Amino acid sequence: MSRLTLHPMKEIRIVVQGEHLRIVTDVLDRVGATGYTIIHNVSGKGHHGFHEGHLLFDDTSSQVIVFTVVPEERIEPILAGLTPLFNKHSGAMFVSDVAVTRREHFVAT
């Protein structure tokens, strides 16, 4: 059996109102993120106070978190794509160093 190797990547966590989810996924698709995970109905407290995770009307009325892992060179295009959203609306983005074993799953060909 071959030994696993770790490859450095960046994990991005983006928290936005559900109504802005499509903007986030469009940016990630355009810059070549190979995938992402979406968690709906997120609760928490931040700069704008406490946000309930339950649905008021539909998925657009609650917060979502989008997770993705990308090579470092994709960070700047994602930041540029999301800047207009964060200039107008509340939300947060966190970028962390991570390591993955299957690099080819996270790099667009």
Considering the segment(s) 20-101 as one domain, its CATH architecture is 2-Layer Sandwich (3.30)
Q: Per residue in 67-101, pLDDT tens?
A: 999 999 999 999 999 999 999 998 899 999 999 99
How does residue 44 score in pLDDT terms, banded at 50, 70 and 90? confident
Tens digit of each residue's pLDDT (9 = 90 or more) over 16-28: 999 999 999 999 9
Domain positions in the chain are 20-101
Distance of CA 35 to CAs 43, 64, 65, 73, 106, Å? 24, 16, 14, 16, 8
Confidence of residue 2 (pLDDT cuts 50, 70, 90): confident
- Residue 52: which pLDDT band, with cuts at 50, 70 and 90? low
